[in-house]
Structure 1
Amino acid sequence: MNQRITWSQLPQTVRDGVENILGEAVTEAESQPGGFSPGSADRVQLASGRRAFVKAASALHNATTPGLHRREAAVTAALPPGVLVPDFLGMYDDGTWVALVLADVAGRHPQEPWAAHEVVQVLDALVSVGQLDLPAELELPRYQESLQGAFLGWERLRSRPLETMGSWAASHLDQLVEVAQRGTLELAGDTLVHGDLRADNILLTGQDPGAGSWHSRGQDAGRFGNGTGRGVVFLDWPWAARGAAWVDGLSVLINVKTLNPSAQVDQFFETHPVFAGTNAHAITAVMAGWAGYFLDMSRRPAPAGIPTLRPFQRQQADALIDWIQSRGL
């Protein structure tokens, strides 16, 4: 999604720091596409043949990203056993450059647009995450508190309208403000929440548990989830929080609809166990919160080094608004 810097473009001091963590020299590096970071993301091979994953960012390129890397390092290192994440190997931090060193995971991102069986595979993995007991000493923010300001997007749009928001959203602003406010409350819970799940933050490993497409199996894809979570690894945890068990599943489906607006995914809400215990009003309320956030953010200047973020946020907002309109407020 962005033009990344590569391993060879990192300062020598950063590369030396990473090699000190790994205990040997990097002999090959393959830059990984995807995501919205202006930093590097490389699968590296070491002199012994071992492999690792390295991501690095500089405050000179983007002031926010190094802080997110520090947060990700702290969260990843503290997550309890059973969470489907790469092993944390270490962090280099000189105050300007921050580099995370993680175990390399042999896998690939879900197809874009998503295939129905891969949606099921990921939702199954989220069931496993939702069943984990989080240690009391794991310090994570409450998700409803983290997104309290973000879910005020429709209020900001009401006070400073956006001409291109569309006639339906413009004519339902008051309702959207009210529903999005309720959405903040629906985020509450005590389950581990990733907080930023999209295809580029997910790796599928090993043998896929099925095959199919939205055209051949999309209508009943939600009926064969088994909650095992096999073959899925979740990446990039700086936004981790404690919240409702189903909200990451909704984030996955938002990504599905963003990349393929015609995908029929509403059946998952009724058939997949990751959404057990929730209801249509709660789901729509959280959708409204995200839609207002993405639409409001899409009109802001692009962050330094991330020119594609605002267009993608607008794409997410448009997909959500159409989805909410079809579901009804």
Structure 2
Amino acid sequence: MSATPPPYHQTAVRPDWRDLPDGLREAVGGRLGASVVAARTATAGFTGGFAAVLTTATGARVFVKAADLARQRHLADWYARELAVLARLPADLPVPRPHWALDAAGWYAVGLDAVDGRTPRLPWDPAELDAVLAGYAGVAAALADPPAGLTALGLPRLADLARSDILWWEEVAAGREPVPPLIPPARDRLPELVALESRLPGYAAAAPGLAHGDLRVDNVLLDPAGRAWFCDWNWLCHGPAWFDLAGLLITGYADGAGLDAVFAAHPAAVDAPPDALDVTLAALAGYYLTAAGPPATADPASGAGTVGPGAGPAGGNPAGTSALLGAHRRFSGEQALRWLAARQGWH
């Protein structure tokens, strides 16, 4: 099993600006008030939606996401939800702000702030990790008492999402899902994994704040000043910030960096139950490893598929999904399981 993460800065399979319908490009140019003279396609991410920083003849820059309403309706719905969330997040948070949305030529497009940034280096660089942790501490504090404008959106609850989409070890133990490839210390630990993950819904239901819900290293950008910006807000939910924190740490791994201490010292974990980290690691390991499917036998660059974004273990491979999605899930699941095994003393 691989201990190497996918190249998060070049995982995406997306259409370029010139591939979009003429009507959509004309509508976007009209909304921008000037012709588009340059387009830099985003190379990070795992979905097949259009995403690029557009520069106009006046020098203005905007980040545009777009999805085909017939073939990628789920992406269009995600973009609309993200736009609504971003418009209601507290004004001082380091998040891209929304500008507009439009329908044209059978596509849905949104315009956001263009953040001048890059994904953090892996494994975690200590200074970059400190910047991300400090930035997320501010986000978690701002969402600990949910703003009324956000709760009015009817946000999902992590407790419900856990029951419907995240918890899979019980399904594996019951034989309703195949046993994924496991690291040796965890191969005889299904009862413990089931018991640990089963506590997540109750813990999540008791948390009063909001969680990003999809906080991974590839959803963070560091700007030239070293400040962390947090992106992709379509999964905001009622839930604990410590769930976000654990998910972030496993996707930006650090060998021998003492992540137990990092988690315990972070403000987001102050009110966490004593075993919250173990519960989260167990749940995320099961989600990622079952969703990853079997290891790919083809070169990832060839387009060999894995499970699509947002799909459970039986999901399939939507067109345009990155061939590296399975590698990301497998890596993240293994990282979670290794960390959990070390904490539990499994050998």
TM-score scaled by length of structure 1: 0.85
Q: How many residues align?
A: 305
Q: Give yes or no for contact 2:146–2:210 (8 Å, CA) kept in 1.
A: yes
Alpha-carbon displacement from aligned partner over 1:109-133 (angstroms, at most 9, x marks no partner): 2113321221111111111112224
Matches within 5 A, 1:250-261: 250-257=246-253, 260=254
State whether structure 2 residue 268 is matched by structure 1 residue 274.
Answer: yes
State whether structure 2 residue 200 is matched by structure 1 residue 190.
Answer: no
**Corresponding position of 1:240:** 236
Distance in 2 separating the partners of 1:17 and 1:150: 37
Distance in 2 separating the partners of 1:59 and 1:314: 30
Shift of 1:145: 1.9
SS in 1 for 2:214: coil
**Corresponding position of 2:303:** none
Q: CA RMSD in A?
A: 2.1
Shift of 1:304: 2.4
State whether structure 2 residue 143 is matched by structure 1 residue 135.
Answer: no
Moved over 6 A (4+): none
Shift of 1:33: 0.9
State whether structure 2 residue 111 is matched by structure 1 residue 101.
Answer: yes
State whether structure 2 residue 305 is matched by structure 1 residue 309.
Answer: no
5+ residue gaps, structure 2, are 1-10, 294-313
Shift of 1:163: 5.7
Instruction: Call closer, same or farther: CA 1:156–1:261 in 2, change over 3 Å.
Output: farther
Instruction: Call closer, same or farther: CA 1:96–1:320 in 2, change over 3 Å.
Output: farther
Shift of 1:173: 1.0
Shift of 1:194: 1.2
Distance in 1 separating the partners of 2:287 and 2:49: 25
Distance in 2 separating the partners of 1:39 and 1:129: 27
**Corresponding position of 1:72:** 82
Distance in 2 separating the partners of 1:318 and 1:245: 22
Counterpart AA for 1:241:
C
Distance in 2 separating the partners of 1:174 and 1:127: 34
5+ residue gaps, structure 1, are 209-230
Matches within 5 A, 1:1-329: 1-94=11-104, 96-132=106-142, 133-138=145-150, 139=153, 140-158=155-173, 159=175, 160-162=177-179, 164-188=181-205, 189-208=207-226, 231-257=227-253, 260=254, 263-299=257-293, 300=314, 301-306=316-321, 307-328=323-344
Q: Give yes or no for contact 1:156–1:296 (8 Å, CA) kept in 2.
A: no
Distance in 2 separating the partners of 1:10 and 1:324: 45
SS in 1 for 2:148: coil
**Corresponding position of 1:223:** none
SS in 1 for 2:252: helix
TM-score scaled by length of structure 2: 0.81
Instruction: Call closer, same or farther: CA 1:73–1:146 in 2, change over 3 Å.
Output: same
Q: Give yes or no for contact 1:91–1:98 (8 Å, CA) kept in 2.
A: yes
Distance in 1 separating the partners of 2:25 and 2:48: 17
Q: Give yes or no for contact 1:52–1:104 (8 Å, CA) kept in 2.
A: yes
Distance in 2 separating the partners of 1:166 and 1:126: 31
Distance in 1 separating the partners of 2:212 and 2:185: 31
Distance in 2 separating the partners of 1:297 and 1:63: 21
Q: Give yes or no for contact 1:261–1:319 (8 Å, CA) kept in 2.
A: no
Instruction: Call closer, same or farther: CA 1:265–1:95 in 2, change over 3 Å.
Output: farther
Instruction: Call closer, same or farther: CA 1:163–1:242 in 2, change over 3 Å.
Output: closer
Shift of 1:261: 5.2
Instruction: Call closer, same or farther: CA 1:253–1:280 in 2, change over 3 Å.
Output: farther
Distance in 2 separating the partners of 1:125 and 1:311: 27
Shift of 1:328: 0.8
Shift of 1:302: 2.7
Instruction: Call closer, same or farther: CA 1:60–1:262 in 2, change over 3 Å.
Output: farther
SS in 1 for 2:334: helix
